[in-house]
């Protein structure tokens, strides 16, 4: 009867090598497991941004269509001056285009520098030119300003707002630029809409729109990665702007 041979034991060097192979594998697995929730969080944020931009774009496209119908009606009735909401239609479209660029960016490729630059440029134009164009229309509704010959035409207003945007961009990014744009929106959008709402008896929709817009700009603010009442601020901000545009255009369809 032969004596059974023992299996030769591994050398200390071989054991160390095997251990070295196991440790990186375990570390990689743990890193991947930790990264999974982070990816889900990022994807959730992108979907939230895309959804809020869809809401904002839809509301402003609808408001622009209301302005278009009102424009056709005023041309049919041969109305003059303040009755034609051409500037408001252009303003709503600029906001809608900016939101549409955001939808494309957040659904296709958020890391694409071209889409990011386009989204940022259109958003700045919507704030510095689009909203003042809406404000111009409501300024022309105030008694005595409908046919006032000194009042800039829509084209001149666009040029003036574009120059104002260039001045805004000349400020360094930060508090100074943000303050300039707040003043621009207050003077060229909120004040005209507020004056119009006060001048029109029962124009509660216009006043409510001003209140919603001011609430969005002052209290909500589109701060990245922050929540208010458990909802991302970007979502609340874009939704509030969409509601404000619907309230403004509802007066035109009345």
Burial of 172 (0-12, 13-18, 19+ CB in 10 A): exposed
In a domain, residue 156? The reply is yes
Number of independent structural domains in the chain: 1
- Is pLDDT of 66 > 70? yes
Residue-range definition of the domain harbouring residue 203? 43-253
In a domain, residue 189? The reply is yes
Rounded to the nearest 5°, which phi and psi values hold at 227? Answer: -120, 155
In a domain, residue 233? The reply is yes
Terminal-to-terminal C-alpha distance of the chain: 108
Give mean pLDDT, residues 69-78.
Answer: 74
Residue with more model confidence, 101 or 108: 101
In a domain, residue 18? The reply is no
Per-residue pLDDT of 152-204, as tens digits, reads 567 888 898 999 889 988 888 778 888 888 888 888 888 888 887 777 665 78
pLDDT at 181: 84
In a domain, residue 116? The reply is yes
Percent of the chain with pLDDT over 90: 17
Place of tokens 């402003």: 60
- Is pLDDT of 28 > 50? no
Residue with more model confidence, 93 or 229: 93
Give mean pLDDT, residues 53-61.
Answer: 94
- Is pLDDT of 116 > 60? yes
- Is pLDDT of 27 > 50? no
Q: What is the mean pLDDT of the chain?
A: 76
Task: Give the confidence band of 75 by pLDDT, cuts at 50, 70, 90.
Answer: low
pLDDT at 31: 43
State the Cα torsion 219-225-228-231 to the nearest 10°: 130
In a domain, residue 245? The reply is yes
Rounded Cα distance, 165 and 126, in Å: 10
In a domain, residue 96? The reply is yes
In a domain, residue 107? The reply is yes
Give mean pLDDT, residues 239-251.
Answer: 87
């Amino acid at each position: 009867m032969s004596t059974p041979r023992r299996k030769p034991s591994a050398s200390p060097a071989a054991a160390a090598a095997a251990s070295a192979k196991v440790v990186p594998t375990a570390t990689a697995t743990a890193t991947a497991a930790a990264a999974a929730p982070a990816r889900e969080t990022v994807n959730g944020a992108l979907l939230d941004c895309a959804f809020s931009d869809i809401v904002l774009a839809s509301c402003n496209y609808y408001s622009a269509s209301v302005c278009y119908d009102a424009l056709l009606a005023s041309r049919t009735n041969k109305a003059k001056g303040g009755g034609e909401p051409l500037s408001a239609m252009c303003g709503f479209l600029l906001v809608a285009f900016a939101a549409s660029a955001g939808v494309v960016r957040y659904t296709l490729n958020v890391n694409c520098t071209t889409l990011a630059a386009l989204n940022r440029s259109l958003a700045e134009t919507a704030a510095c030119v689009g909203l003042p164009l809406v404000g111009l229309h409501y300024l022309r509704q105030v008694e005595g300003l409908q046919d006032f010959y000194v009042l800039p035409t829509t084209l001149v207003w666009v040029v003036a707002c574009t120059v104002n945007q260039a001045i805004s961009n000349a400020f360094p990014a930060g508090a100074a630029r943000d303050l300039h744009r707040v003043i621009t929106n207050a003077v060229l959008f909120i004040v005209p809409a507020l004056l119009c709402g006060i001048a029109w008896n029962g124009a509660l929709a216009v006043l409510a729109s001003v209140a919603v817009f001011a609430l969005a700009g002052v209290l909500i603010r589109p701060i990245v990665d922050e929540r208010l009442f458990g909802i991302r601020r970007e979502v609340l901000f874009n939704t509030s702007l969409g509601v404000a545009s619907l309230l403004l255009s509802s007066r035109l369809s009345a």
